[in-house]
Chains A and B, each alone.
Chain A
Amino acid sequence: MDVTTFLQFFINGIVLGAIYVLLAIGLSIIFGMIGIVNLTHGILYMFGAYATVTLAPYVGFFPNLILSPLLVGLFGMAVEAAFLRRIYKGDPALGLLFTFGLAMFLEQIVRVLWGTQGIPFQIPEALRGAFAMGPIIYSKYRYFIGLCAVLVIAGLWFFLEKTPYGMIIRAGSRDPDMVRVLGISLKPVFTAVFGLGAAMAAISGVLASPLAGVEPAMGTNTGTFAFVVVVIGGLGSFWGSVIAGFMVGEVESFCILFWPPMADASKFALMIAVLLLRPRGLLGRRWERFE
């Protein structure tokens, strides 16, 4: 394999990984904070894409990078406030079952509102075509995805690590009782976190909308892959999801180069390998409240 080929597939793996990171990180935050395995994540991703194709004729593509996550985030907050809040105290399986049922319901709603057919949607004019960097020719739009992912990840990291709100979220995810003792109500925090996770899923949906088919089943596989990434990275770990996302992207990219029929299976093979060696995932730590 020559260097150019290697670099092409490496860059492609990074960009694929960036999409996986964006997807997984929202899931990871929700689990880390609220302890709910959110099976609607793939649906929220699809909502991001549907919001984009619906709004784009009026506002164009780029405003959707803000608008769609905002709308989907608000929707997520409404779901949390109306339903999820009631089941935190119950069996953890309840959250799983509830979000699973909700995902089914919402997918059918999309079929009813937007129809079962896919919706054609193009890459914005400014980002069409390929961009050559020496011998490496790559899609402009995918460079853009990579850039967006880096900005979002950096922004999120800054928010969680460097702001007082982020500190409450991180503290709440490790020791909710102590946070309450300090006089901070976690109720609105949970709502905000679910909204944030939903918005992250929506951003990846917005970015994916010109690439993948925008159709009601688009979230099914994607949601599963997001789980794989989170499990590899370690449930609830921010950097774990980031590293795992890029790993999965690279493994998939090179797997297609050398052994395409295994492309789908490679993600799961990686997950199995990681779980055998480190059952908590790459950066998963021991969390008292889940044991």
Chain B
Amino acid sequence: MKSRKGITRRGFLKAAGTTAVAAGTSGVWAPAILRAQQQPIKIGHLVPLTGFLSPMGDYATKAGQLAAEEINAAGGVLGRPIQMLSDDETNPGVAVQKATKMIQQDKVDFLLGTVSSAVALAVMEVAERYQKIFINSGSNSDEIRGAKCNYYTFCTEASNTQYVKAIGRYLVKNKNYKTFYILTSDYAFGHDLTRVTRRLLAELGGKEIGHDLVPTGTADYSSYILKVRNANPEVVFCNVAGADQTTFLKQYTEFGLKIDVAGGVTDTVLMWNAGKDTAQGVWTVIWWGDLDNAWTKNFSTKYRQKYGLPPENQAWGDYTSIKALAQAIQMAGTTDSKKVVEAMEKIKFDAGKGRELYYRPYDHQLIQPMYVVSIKKTGNRDKWDIFNVISEVPGKDESLEVIAPTKEENLCNMKRG
């Protein structure tokens, strides 16, 4: 039953994907034809539309379209319009096929996207093989910018180290947790995040009194929650990903445990889905739509006008990536991969985080501040108003590099060119 279903499903997705690409192509082509006879700059956009990471995928797609529209309305890049080709990425094998097809058949100039770290690790190899730039807008594993880093891959998404150091700095100053129970998503992202979390524990002098690997897409956490209660730690450190985080929080609240929750990484939509009464804990987010600055207000307003919903941090990731890429292409004066890589390493830009951001040439990681948030329980403006920003890390007077992975923590030996 299972295997038959699997094969057919894959076949179906392939067909659906092709249709989506066809539909997407025709949709974005129209304005391009009207504008000029210029060849569009094509960006192959891989986003998760099914599975436990799908809550983020929709935001990524919409933000990509918005960024492309804005750039095209302003005359494009080097006078050429941007054309987005979106496709579903859910597992590494399929993503490699799709990325390869995008490069070979659709002749995309750049690759963008991914939320699953396992998928990002696979796609970045394709990028290197074909010497095309891949901007990782949503995958966190350190090895993407460390052991497996390559010249053609840039990371707008922060690394697990940046996330965990951010919450770590907050915990060191404000909480004195000594005993931790860690729950880990059983795939690349979770394993990496827990590795980094253990580094933090060593720093805090905290003791790991329990650890469970949780299969992705788990629908029931009751047994894990019972184990946590029996172990009675001071804090549960929740390193599960995607929709699993929402499910965990719902059931954690259901069991009424009084043990604190903290987590290295969250996405706003996961907390929206849980709702303010159910969501809890302190977490790190990369960006949040209510940050008090002009860039964020402008982006949130535009996104909301177009789609009727506020943008989530994954929307920020894809929007920022495309804007940065456009800036680099403009600077390079060409879409030639190597020239654009050099430009990407030089550009500095504002992306709603109050400081100038840049891709570090050493490992191509976007160097940026992170935000430690808690759940806003009272006085919420509407259901989207779910976070209190507790702290921006690093502080305004500190270097942004202090939370970035060091060479000792995450060595990147990239072969240049």
Residues of A within 8 A of B (CB): 5, 8-9, 12, 15-16, 37, 39, 96, 100, 104, 115-123, 128-130, 137-139, 141-142, 208, 210-213, 215-218, 221-222, 224, 227, 231, 252-253, 256-257, 260-261, 263-264, 268
CB-defined contacts of A141 to chain B, threshold 8 Å: 254
A227 contact set on B, CB distance < 8 A: 1-2
Interface string of B1-23 (1 = CB under 8 A from A): 11011001100100000000000
Whether B1 and A139, one on each chain, are in contact in the complex, defined by CB atoms closer than 8 angstroms, is: no
Return the chain B residue nearest A214 by Cβ: B273
Q: Given A118-B55, A137-B229, A211-B251, A264 and B215 touching (CB < 8 A)? A: yes
25 interchain pairs (CB within 8 A)? A8-B230, A9-B223, A116-B49, A116-B54, A117-B55, A117-B269, A118-B273, A120-B273, A128-B254, A129-B256, A139-B222, A211-B219, A211-B220, A211-B251, A213-B246, A217-B52, A217-B243, A218-B219, A221-B217, A222-B219, A227-B1, A253-B222, A256-B224, A260-B212, A260-B214
B229 neighbours in A (Cβ, 8 Å):
137
Within the complex, what minimum Cβ distance (angstroms) separates A249 from chain B?
9
B223–A217 CB distance below 8 A: no
| Alpha-carbon distance between A227 and B213 when the two chains are bound, in angstroms | 25
Chain A residues, CB < 8 A from B230: 5, 8
B220-262, CB < 8 A from A: 220, 222-224, 226-227, 229-230, 243, 246-247, 250-251, 254-256
7 additional contacts (CB under 8 A) given A116-B49, A213-B243, A260-B212:
A12-B223, A116-B55, A122-B277, A142-B222, A222-B219, A224-B5, A261-B186
Cβ–Cβ contact A260 & B275, under 8 A: no
B-chain residues with CB within 8 Å of residue A128 when the two chains form the complex? 254, 256
Main secondary structure of the interface of B (DSSP, over half): helix
Known contacts A37-B1, A211-B251; is-contact A122 B243 (Cβ 8 Å): no
- Residues of B265-285 at the interface with A, using a CB-CB cut-off of 8 Å, are 269, 272-275, 277-278
Nearest residue, chain B, Cβ from A2: B230
Number of B interface residues at 8 Å Cβ cutoff, please give it.
47
Does B58 make an interface contact (CB < 8 A)? yes
B218 within 8 A of A: yes
List of 8 A-B pairs having minimum Cβ-Cβ separation, nearest first: A120-B275, A256-B223, A118-B273, A264-B215, A130-B256, A260-B212, A261-B213, A129-B256
CA distance A120 to B271 in the complex (A): 9
Give, as a whole number of angstroms, the nearest-CB distance from A260 to chain B. 4
B226 pairs with A130, CB closer than 8 A: no
A130 x B255 contact (CB < 8 A)? yes
Looking across the interface, which residue of chain B has its beta carbon closest to that of A12?
B222
Q: Does B380 contact A (CB under 8 A)?
A: no
